[in-house]
Structure 1
């Protein structure tokens, strides 16, 4: 009996030791009061609106509608301006989520992960402004810069209410706006049966999420002066899919004049053709796995108990376009969402977004458009990525990471984990920074600024080496840009008390650069002229001019010449002696280059010492 007591005591001590070693999340901020504040009253075109007192000495107006609900006959149609008569609005709570599957991209009940959530009535935005006494809201030449945040989430998940823009607005005296926009198949869905000969090109475009963002910018143009904002000085900024959407605004004719600077955080220039968005995967001109054609077949098989694609195609052949349109419009958002293949990141859908329809967005690939002088909305641009982008996705992937008891974790093959993350993250950077910077520079736009985010000071313990497994991962720059570490990414071990001071200093610097860019179109030395001079992108033999964001412990904020290109990654791949197998080397080549202009069959067949002749390149592209 005494032995059992000793063993129990040892187990308790070990358990307490492990618990103490495991990282803890930061405490959440106190919730805000929801009562409207009379001093926040503003007169808009749609009527009088009041908000609430928010953090960082701001007022916030939450859940303001900027378009008619895209429901019923307005599903899969361009957003319509509000038609309701002017009426008072208490804007003290965020609007509905747009339809999506619950997951990590939004704070939601874990029991709803993977389940449909949201409402099609979701076109709402939020505004933050410094607290002005009644009658002192800036006007005329004194109006403040405006920054409009476009959230990420693969264009299939996410919401504006996950982000707090009060620090940017309050500390740097500007107006900040965040928006919801239609997601997934509600936001990007192109099918021949939904195209009405009597409808506008926008209604038939398939790019409804893109048009929502444009409509939100039109609302900003028409209403932001009431909050003290300057409609002629608007910066759009977004991360991940939000960064992609910033790029779409740069190439969208309808967005011309609605914004004046652009910040692309971990975005890309990728898009889908109409063929990829509509056709079946086994068509002569194949579509993507999440095309509207594939989704329609999946719905027919599920609803009618059809045994296979052949039977579904036979039934489809018996339906007119009117029948198909009525069938699709009769489905709930949940019905449609649940037919899509998922990405490796939980609830994100494999969906072709955005679509080069030839009206809302050009038919030509975006890199060609952006390299053409006068071919796009030419504005000053910041573009950058995080050093370890892909680690976020690998961190949650059981193919790469082993978890025990929901707490302890380790990479299944640590060297392979680091190697794969490096190659895929570097390729992301080469496309989104070096290629994009060069395209813009060739077009004559010399107001382009590049960054790399390197912060990697998460917790590191024998039970959870988060700093090496997550590092400077995708999305981690967002809390620094917004000075909000208690929000969406506040997970155990990411932001710890021990790094609070250095995190705060880096966050203040990044906010200062972002705000200076919003004011003047150049980040320069920050709002207070006390930071390293962030010079414009210039690509030469030594690489492109880039600013690195990090704490003094790891070199601090500094200017470097970044020579990372897709060509240099190829050279590294061919001679990398750390790669464990021929199959791994060939796999990287396929992942990085298949389906792009950089693919070279002869190069693939002779890659490395042994080549890849007997390894068919049958993988999806990144």
Structure 2
């Protein structure tokens, strides 16, 4: 067993390097903390040149044994300090207790980053602990992001497609389906779990005809089932980018070095006025026929159990003054209720202020508008035809309390992966003299995720249209309403809820 705080394996021998045959060639892995690991396995052709803005192409076979001991390039993006970047970024990483023919559950993770940044090789997503502790196979992948992955240039002609990054994820899942048994995994037992943008992608994948048969359970972590865009909106943003770059033809677009494109990303996000919402999955009427909630209402993705959750105060990082100024919390809140009638514009903020106080009421309202309400409505809708459970991450360390961040966006990642010395884990335990309680909470959430991956079931009450119980991970875990009824009721007659349930395919 692995000690997640002292980083020591107990009672496990070091494994030898592993050479595994796949449908496209052999790969040689390595060992890490008592499990096998294969890094940087290409799952698709490099999306360069004429392939830059089109749907993913299958990887061509190779001769001999390909070394898979180092992570692959991450997709070009601004300000990424810990990885080399290149367009040849479509690789995945696998952690497995053993490369044998035992068919273990597979946990396939999709990283977040607002579809603008991130990589599957980040230390926070290292799958060694989870694979060893749970006797499962863990997979992470890179996919195209930002300008390269989530701008819809399809109006330029056949040389461009919408949702290139989502095509990448589906191709990675297809590679896993075809090859994971050689790594000790069960291709008929794949749980997709994703966080933030990865959670949004997960909520979409469960409804897509193109992904059917490639995933069998889903865990949506802080995703946004309502945070997609219509086809016209997506193409307007792409057209805005062409004007921003003074580009007239697809040839000019493909000739610009990828690093230069990535270097313009932040300036473009500011110029187009969309900020963190610039890059989104498009409801294009092709790969993505509809938004997740109306798609689920129409019966898409039947037979896929789902666990959906958020942290309690996703947007509390906006209590940090510099971020609040940059992101304009007041402007976001005003925009969030701008389509509502006068009564709603007054009642909704008032309900939050009465329940949480003036300061926390603002960020709790944003948390619900961006994450929790959409997640609840998605859970309620899917519950008509599928088993759905909810969870909420409420646990706070001393540093989280003192800073005023509380259970902010991504603070659950260290608890899920068990990597407390990486990413957010370095910060949230700074003032914690004893980690006994944290270890207990980490084990609780890991055991639930692993149980769900094994059998698609959880021991607390499922969601229904009229009830959304959630297991709340805190010092003493408890099942309670995902959103307080008094708050939930405020949204019943809102324009926000109405549009979240409206089908808008191809628009």
TM-score by length of 1: 0.68
**Structure 2: how far apart are the matches of 1:108 and 1:350?**
24
Against the structure 1 CA distance between its residues 277 and 167, is the aligned structure 2 distance closer, same or farther, given a 3 Å change threshold? Answer: same
- Using the TM superposition, give the Cα deviation of residue 502 of structure 1 relative to its aligned residue in structure 2, in angstroms: 1.0
**Structure 2: how far apart are the matches of 1:334 and 1:44?**
32
- State the Cα deviation string for residues 235-282 of structure 1 (Å, max 9, x = none): 000000000010121122111100100000000112111110112xxx
Q: Where in structure 2 are the equivalents of 1:577-616 lying within 5 Å? A: 597=498
Against the structure 1 CA distance between its residues 394 and 101, is the aligned structure 2 distance closer, same or farther, given a 3 Å change threshold? Answer: farther
Against the structure 1 CA distance between its residues 278 and 448, is the aligned structure 2 distance closer, same or farther, given a 3 Å change threshold? Answer: same
Residue 481 (1) aligns with residue 416 (2): yes
Contact 1:54/1:60 (8 A) holds in 2: yes
Equivalent position of 2:137 in the other structure: 175
Larger mean CA deviation between 469-478 and 40-49 belongs to 40-49
Instruction: Give the one of 388, 397, 411 matched to 1:457.
Output: 397
Against the structure 1 CA distance between its residues 496 and 484, is the aligned structure 2 distance closer, same or farther, given a 3 Å change threshold? Answer: farther
Equivalent position of 1:125 in the other structure: 92
Q: Where in structure 2 are the equivalents of 1:91-490 lying within 5 Å? A: 91-102=68-79, 108=82, 118-131=85-98, 137=100, 139=101, 142-162=102-122, 163-196=125-158, 204-269=160-225, 270-279=227-236, 291-300=237-246, 324-337=249-262, 338-339=264-265, 340-342=267-269, 350-362=277-289, 364-373=290-299, 375-376=300-301, 378-395=303-320, 397-399=322-324, 416-442=358-384, 444-445=385-386, 447-459=387-399, 465-466=402-403, 469-490=404-425
**Structure 2: how far apart are the matches of 1:544 and 1:567?**
13
- Using the TM superposition, give the Cα deviation of residue 79 of structure 1 relative to its aligned residue in structure 2, in angstroms: 1.3
- State the Cα deviation string for residues 373-431 of structure 1 (Å, max 9, x = none): 2x235400000111010013443734469xxxxxxxxxxxx964322112212334542
Against the structure 1 CA distance between its residues 365 and 53, is the aligned structure 2 distance closer, same or farther, given a 3 Å change threshold? Answer: closer
Report SS of the residue matched to 1:233: strand
**Structure 2: how far apart are the matches of 1:248 and 1:396?**
34
Contact 1:174/1:229 (8 A) holds in 2: yes
- Using the TM superposition, give the Cα deviation of residue 168 of structure 1 relative to its aligned residue in structure 2, in angstroms: 1.4
Q: Whose RCO is larger (CA < 8 A, sep 6+)?
A: 2
Contact 2:400/2:406 (8 A) holds in 1: no
Contact 2:73/2:88 (8 A) holds in 1: yes
- State the Cα deviation string for residues 66-93 of structure 1 (Å, max 9, x = none): 1111111110111111114232122111
Instruction: Give the one of 454, 470, 488 matched to 1:568.
Output: 488
- State the Cα deviation string for residues 113-158 of structure 1 (Å, max 9, x = none): xxxx7211100100001146xxxx1x3xx41110100000001100
Report SS of the residue matched to 2:425: coil
Equivalent position of 1:23 in the other structure: none
- Using the TM superposition, give the Cα deviation of residue 59 of structure 1 relative to its aligned residue in structure 2, in angstroms: 1.0
**Structure 1: how far apart are the matches of 2:216 and 2:179?**
17
Report SS of the residue matched to 1:100: coil
**Structure 2: how far apart are the matches of 1:419 and 1:155?**
28
Rg bigger for which structure? 1
**Structure 2: how far apart are the matches of 1:209 and 1:598?**
25
Larger mean CA deviation between 234-243 and 388-397 belongs to 388-397
Against the structure 1 CA distance between its residues 193 and 494, is the aligned structure 2 distance closer, same or farther, given a 3 Å change threshold? Answer: same
Equivalent position of 1:578 in the other structure: none
Against the structure 1 CA distance between its residues 428 and 87, is the aligned structure 2 distance closer, same or farther, given a 3 Å change threshold? Answer: same
Unmatched 5+ stretches in structure 2: 9-13, 327-355, 501-507
Aligned residue pairs total 456
